[in-house]
Amino acid sequence: MKVGIIGHGYMGGIRRRVVEARKELTLSIVCETDLGKLPGKGQPFRVTRDPRDVLNSDVDLVFVCTPNNLIPELSIELMKRGKHVFAEKPPGRSLQDIIDIRAAEKNSPDVKLMFGFNHRYHPGIIRAKELVQTGRFGKILWVRGIYGKSGGKNFSSSWRNKKEISGGGILLDQGIHMLDLFNHFCGDFEEVKAFASNKYWGFELEDNAFVILNSKNGPSGMLHSSATFWKHKFKLELGLEKGYMNIEGLLSKSGSYGRETLTVGRQQFEDESFAVGNPSEEITYFDRDLSWDIEVDLFLDAIRENKPVVESSSLDALKAMTIVDKAYRNSGMI
């Protein structure tokens, strides 16, 4: 299969490495409008600064790794031209964007569409999901997530803090991963309440969001999404009927979120104070992150076998964006 990439920044570079490692894929064309991020000369693929070159090319599938404002239009146009699309998250700037994308997807039944909700494929998350599926810990009662960074390199000048490009602040940019994980474990949440603020960075977009979720017949949830976390943190906690699971840390290139671990503990009913302080636990340490490969392999499987994309699908994107939209409305950000 011939592959195109639109956007050769950080994520485009990652997708490129995954594509080039697969014999069944041929990277044919890479588009990047920023001169500083263009691939160097002498590449075995075409390099262009015009996305229309990718749209009009003969590639079979395209990775859309652009800022948020470009994702909907590019995804829709690519699908109209019969190309399979793997787009980064978030799927645009607003709930309406993903609604429009899904409408286009419906009109292009032969193409596959997947979004880069990559955290689902991290080893700690996969393992926790497997354990939940054994049923040995009962149902999930609640979830709690903290996902925080300090902003990032050149944060002040990043497109992520410009509303017309990004559509939202830290909650849309990074917190949406955690919301997707909440959905991944718990299903839908009907009620969403939120506070959002920009007390530190002073941009027009939030730098902290606190979101509380509830499902009437299912779990409740809570998320803190932050761009003022001076020690990067990823923590997802699951409270189940017969135990708990905590995924802490995230394997990444920089290692800034710490080593990825999964702690699993059981409910105990000895002396209550003893059990609360010192329950039996197992802590697994992971050292290999295959998430980038796993999600692309799932996408390729769907294309090869002409079967629906069931993970990180447009429906998953819609669910995540629905929560983001409700949170922004409830907090007054929109």
80-88, 111-119, 125-133, 172-180 -> range binding another protein (CB under 8 A): 125-133
Total residues belonging to the chain: 334
CA 21 from chain centre, in angstroms, equals 22
Please report whether residue 283 would count as binding another protein according to CB under 8 A. yes
The residue from 63, 244, 286, 328 that contacts another protein (CB under 8 A) is 286
**Cβ distance to another protein smaller for residue 8 or 184:** 184
Minimum distance, C-beta of residue 113 to another protein, in the bound complex (Å): 25
Please report whether residue 305 would count as binding another protein according to CB under 8 A. no
Please report whether residue 41 would count as binding another protein according to CB under 8 A. no
**Cβ distance to another protein smaller for residue 133 or 154:** 133
Per DSSP, the three-state class of 31 is strand
CA distance 325 to 320: 9
65 contacts 51 by C-beta, under 8 angstroms: no
Cα 33 to Cα 58, 62, 203, 271, distances in angstroms? 20, 16, 25, 64
71-79, 166-174, 286-294, 297-305 -> range binding another protein (CB under 8 A): 286-294
Residue by residue, DSSP assigns 170-198 as HIIIIIHHHHHHHHHHH----EEEEEEE-
Minimum distance, C-beta of residue 61 to another protein, in the bound complex (Å): 26
**Cβ distance to another protein smaller for residue 38 or 126:** 126
Q: Please identify which residue in the block is written with the tokens 């998430």.
A: 291
Neighbours of 195 (CB within 10 A): 15
> What are phi and psi for residue 277, nearest 5 degrees?
-80, -30
Minimum distance, C-beta of residue 271 to another protein, in the bound complex (Å): 12
Minimum distance, C-beta of residue 264 to another protein, in the bound complex (Å): 8
**Contacts of another protein in 104-123 (CB under 8 A):** 123
**Cβ distance to another protein smaller for residue 261 or 330:** 261
245 contacts 167 by C-beta, under 8 angstroms: no
**Cβ distance to another protein smaller for residue 45 or 137:** 137
Please report whether residue 133 would count as binding another protein according to CB under 8 A. yes
**Contacts of another protein in 263-282 (CB under 8 A):** 278, 280-282
Residue by residue, DSSP assigns 61-96 as EEEE-S-GGGHHHHHHHHHHTT-EEEEPSS-SSSHH
Please report whether residue 127 would count as binding another protein according to CB under 8 A. yes
Minimum distance, C-beta of residue 283 to another protein, in the bound complex (Å): 5
Judged by the rule CB under 8 A, the positions of this chain that interact with another protein are 123, 126-127, 130-131, 133-134, 136, 278, 280-288
